[in-house]
């Protein structure tokens, strides 16, 4: 059985995961950090450390983004009130693909289609049970590559994204025709 101790193995492998939030995301960040640590991941908590002291989300989004791109962590989790501001901040760091996720569906697609390396959650907009399910999906879903590879590569050309890829049919479009 693929189990370690009493904790079911939901993930393909253990990872180093940087987590960060502002005050509005502190409680969800704490819950996510515990959830990931309980599952065997190495969690690197970059703050903030209190829900009672107002701080600026760009500080923590950038910190998680840098940790992921400098190799301190393999992936990241960012939480603010909505997940929007901290995700914008993380995406300013070159090499970051931070995705705002609301549920299991968006978490899975962020990995499968966008190869997102940071999941962004709204502590005030998403319930904890849904958020933890989304986190499980995010950390156990692989990038599909294929037609999505060129699109993701385009995101890594700062200031010049948008070159069209080679012509080819997209199965998702075929399915809908
Ligand atoms: C803080 O009040 C709030 O603005 C912040 O957590 C976030 O939601 C911004 O995007």
**Is the full-model pTM beyond 0.95?**
no
Q: Tens digits of per-residue pLDDT, 23-41? A: 999 999 999 999 999 999 9
Give distance in angstroms: CA of 9 to centre of ligand 1. 33
Q: Tens digits of per-residue pLDDT, 119-165? A: 999 999 999 999 999 999 999 999 999 999 999 999 887 667 677 77
Question: Where are the extended beta strands (E) located within 7-145?
Answer: 7-8, 16-21, 42-45, 75-80, 98-100, 118-122
Ordered structural domains, the chain, with CATH: 16-158+170-176 (3.40.1400.10)
Residue 165's alpha-carbon distances to 149, 159, 162, in angstroms, are 10, 17, 9
Residue minimizing CA distance to atom 4 of ligand 1 = 81
| Residue 84, ligand 1, Cβ within 6 A | yes
Give distance in angstroms: CA of 81 to centre of ligand 1. 4
């Amino acid at each position: 059985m693929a189990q370690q101790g009493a904790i079911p193995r939901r993930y393909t492998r253990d990872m180093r995961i940087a987590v960060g939030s502002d005050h509005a995301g502190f409680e969800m960040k704490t819950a996510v950090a515990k959830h990931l640590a309980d599952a065997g991941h190495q969690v690197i908590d970059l703050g903030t450390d209190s829900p009672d002291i107002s701080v600026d989300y760009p500080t923590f989004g950038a910190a998680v983004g840098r940790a992921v791109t400098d190799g301190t962590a393999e992936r990241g989790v960012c939480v603010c009130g909505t997940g929007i501001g901290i995700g914008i901040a993380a995406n300013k760091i070159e090499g970051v693909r931070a995705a705002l996720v609301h549920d299991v569906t968006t978490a899975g697609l962020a990995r499968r289609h966008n190869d997102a390396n940071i999941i962004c959650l709204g502590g005030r907009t998403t319930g904890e049970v849904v958020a933890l399910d989304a986190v499980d999906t995010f950390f156990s879903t692989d990038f599909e590559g294929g037609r999505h590879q060129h699109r993701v590569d385009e995101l890594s050309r700062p200031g010049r994204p948008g070159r069209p890829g080679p012509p080819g049919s997209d199965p998702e479009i075929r399915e809908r025709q």
